[in-house]
Amino acid sequence: MYKDFDTQKMIDRFLRYVKIDSQSDPESETTPSTEKQWEIARLLKKELEDIGMQDVEIDKYGYVYATLPANTDEDVPVIGFIAHYDTTPDYNGSGVNPQIHENYDGGDIVLNKEKNLVLSPDYFPELKKFKGQTLITTDGNTLLGADDKAGVAEIIAAMEYLINHPEIKHGKIRVAFNPDEEIGRGAHKFDVEKFGAQWAYTMDGSDVGELEFENFNAAGAKVIITGKSVHPGYAKNKMINSILLANEFMSAFPKDEVPERTEGYEGFYHILSINGTTERTEMYYIIRDFDRENFERRKKFFLEVAEKINSRFDKPVVKVEMKDQYYNMREKIEPNMHIIEIAEQSMRELGIEPKIKPIRGGTDGAQLSFKGLPCPNVFAGGLNFHGPYEYVPVPSMEKAAKLIVKIAENTAKRQTA
């Protein structure tokens, strides 16, 4: 199916995109959060124009929008496909030098001999299923950027295929590429009304077949502990050591409710950072749970831990600044399950077995769903995101691009059936 699909052209685009440094910055207050994201935004605008998309624009926040007009007179819902072009600030994304490994033999891939960095099926057993395929990896010095430049390349390839094959009937399709997903702001200034789709799909998942419409409810919490510094020789009943109180605070949470000991639908408390002296310690936590009631319970317990410590002092020494980040999109998708049905059907018609599972994280789709745009998440093909072991099998990208075409086709067929 879609035998004349130009895989090489898609890969050439992908390689071009990943070489552009587009890391976002959580400390910045601008949108995009980094000036360098504009480079890829402008390139994507040009490439959308070059393939024949219409209404192509970049708004003042770096969001790239485009339209593929309907080629049928039937009343077909407007759907959308979305991907983000920023890469995580958590690992080096500058100077990406992608490596292509054709006909992978199923064994170790030496990413960087000097660093003794090896992508091995002994540690990443899923590698074995890609034997014989072409893989794109890092050179061990950076991340790759398949999260989510693979999704970007796949969407553009699919749109070009539909433009070149007018015999495939489809409704109006909207496309968007956004900044700052990796710092949780990808949907903050997304113009849902202007986008004008009834629903959309973020092409931002991992392995082939992934279809996700459940994600964590999420909150972030900054904990500030104020101590009192006194000369240690005269400190009895006077010193308040904020570091020791921080340790007490951390010890109050169940030891098994952390990311490294949870899976599936299990929630957690996760300390991301700690920095302190006797006088002041700051910690940053994230709180996650799929169940909304459990999520609220976790937040309540978090505050109770602080209150318990504060109760021993004349005035509060522990201050918590907590903010909800996003919610489980399931409650917005469930009334619109035809969105999932179309994606499932399309996968099966392409010989892909759907893997419906919860996202142990968040996507732009979660926030967009609560902004009125139901938006499940679909695989883009990359694996081991956010580090030097990141890679993407070329056939996985091809399947993702063809799935976009099939979803567009089946949306039209469903409406006219």
For residue range 2-15, list pLDDT tens digits in order: 889 999 999 999 99
Specify whether 55 is catalytic.
no
Tell me the H-state helices in 225-337: 242-251, 292-310, 330-333
- What's the rounded Cα separation, in Å, for the pair 171 and 72? 6
Q: Domain 7-214+328-416 - what CATH class?
A: alpha beta
Catalytic residue among 21, 25, 47, 86: 86
Q: What is the structure's pLDDT at 127? A: 97
Q: What is the structure's pLDDT at 377? A: 95
Catalytic residue among 160, 180, 181, 204: 181
Q: Of 143-147, 263-267, 361-365, 397-401, which gets the smallest average pLDDT? A: 361-365
- CA proximity to 415, closest of 210, 145, 199, 117: 199
- Amino acid type, 239: M
- Every domain of the chain and the residues it spans: 7-214+328-416, 217-326
Specify whether 181 is catalytic.
yes
Mean pLDDT on 397-401: 98
Task: Using a pLDDT cut of 70, give the percent of the chain over it.
Answer: 99
Q: What is the structure's pLDDT at 1? A: 76
> In the CATH hierarchy, which fold is given to the domain comprising 217-326?
Alpha-Beta Plaits (3.30.70)
User: E-assigned strands of 108-253?
Assistant: 109-112, 117-119, 135-137, 173-178, 199-205, 210-212, 217-226
pTM strictly above 0.85: yes
Q: Please say whether the dihedral angle defined by the alpha carbons of residues 287, 30, 34 and 189, taken in this order, is positive or negative.
A: positive
Average pLDDT taken over every residue of the chain: 96
pLDDT bracket for residue 417 (50, 70, 90) = low
Residue 416 has pLDDT above 70, yes or no: no
- What's the rounded Cα separation, in Å, for the pair 116 and 251? 37
Determine which helix (DSSP H) or strand (DSSP E) holds 193, and give its type and residue range: helix 192-195
Mean pLDDT on 85-113: 96
Q: Mind listing the pLDDT tens digit for each residue in 144-182?
A: 999 999 999 999 999 999 999 999 999 999 999 999 999
- What's the rounded Cα separation, in Å, for the pair 288 and 272? 13
Q: Mind listing the pLDDT tens digit for each residue in 375-397?
A: 999 999 999 999 999 999 999 99
- What's the rounded Cα separation, in Å, for the pair 167 and 6? 17
